[in-house]
Chains A and B, each alone.
Chain A
Amino acid sequence: MSSLNWYQNNYVIVLVFLILGILLPIVALFLGKLLRPHKPIHAKYTTYESGNEPFGDARVQFNVRYYMFALMFVIFSVETIFLYPWAVAYKKLGVFALVEMLVFVVMLVIGLVYAWKKKVLRWT
């Protein structure tokens, strides 16, 4: 068996896992709908809020600070992605790659320091 076939057959397991992951909630919810009694009263439809009376709308406008954290998460996850091939190929690349990666990381550390100085990382 060629290595390409071996590679593709490995992903059959991933495919099976993915299909199971998609089917499981669908089947579980559908079976639950079949089995449970259906007696709706008004109190059952109120939102459960740990015993408190729910007030207001659930879809409120969130603070813009959350967005800053999400954005920094995206940027640093992209940085992490670049670290992976560097780490895997490091033995074949040598010291020059270390310098390149240092330049790359320092660039983003500058951004992090800027965010820190601008008090983005602080909540209040």
Chain B
Amino acid sequence: MSGEYIVFLFLSLVAVSSGTLMLISKKVMHMMVALIFTFISISGIYILLSAEFIAAVQVMVYSGAVAIIMIFGIMLTNHHDSSRNKAPLIRRLLVGISIILFSISMYVGISHLKISLAEVALHENNTEKIGIALFSDYVIPFEIASLVLLVALVGAIVIAKNDNVEGGNQ
């Protein structure tokens, strides 16, 4: 058992267990902290995969920016209700069966998956390689990403500004 394997086991354990913690905890802020732990351990898994840049992006964007925007979303809503209403038994049963079926099908799909490995030293000049690939082979997706960001910005402004106008008229 190599050290890499132990670290992978530890990181995936943290990721899965804090994901579960996010689902079962009753307070929204505790859920957020659990979610941030999941994000950070996933970035550790990226580092194991020699994807340094993606790991840094994961920390910056997900456990930084996305976590902040989720906390703002929590602060903007009323969240005093900590009780949960239980779904009827038949629905819970159906959800459980579909979860089991989904995990079986995912396992069958993944377990014999063969990805042809290219022998590339990803850990050397990782960011530069991503830059060269992004700006020579994937130009169109990159520009579309800017368009998607623009649409997200404008759409959010349209939605939130309308609320503000109604609030101002009170």
Contact = CB atoms under 8 A, between A and B. Distances in A.
A8 B50 CA distance: 8
A110 to B, nearest CB: 6
B57 to A, nearest CB: 5
Q: Is the interface of B mostly helix, strand, loop or mixed?
A: helix
Q: Is the interface of A mostly helix, strand, loop or mixed?
A: helix
Given A81-B61, A89-B135, A93-B131, A62 B75 contact: yes
A17 interface: no
A47 interface: no
B135 A111 contact: no
B65 interface: yes
Interface residues of B, number: 54
A78 interface: yes
A70 interface: yes
A7 B55 CA distance: 14
A68 interface: yes
A4 interface: yes
B32 to A, nearest CB: 14
Given A74-B61, A81-B60, 12 more contacts: A7-B123, A61-B75, A61-B77, A68-B160, A85-B128, A86-B135, A87-B131, A89-B131, A96-B135, A101-B135, A107-B150, A120-B157
Interface of A: 3-4, 7-8, 11, 14-15, 59, 61-62, 64-68, 70-75, 77-79, 81-82, 84-90, 92-93, 96-97, 100-101, 103-104, 107-108, 110-112, 114-115, 118, 120
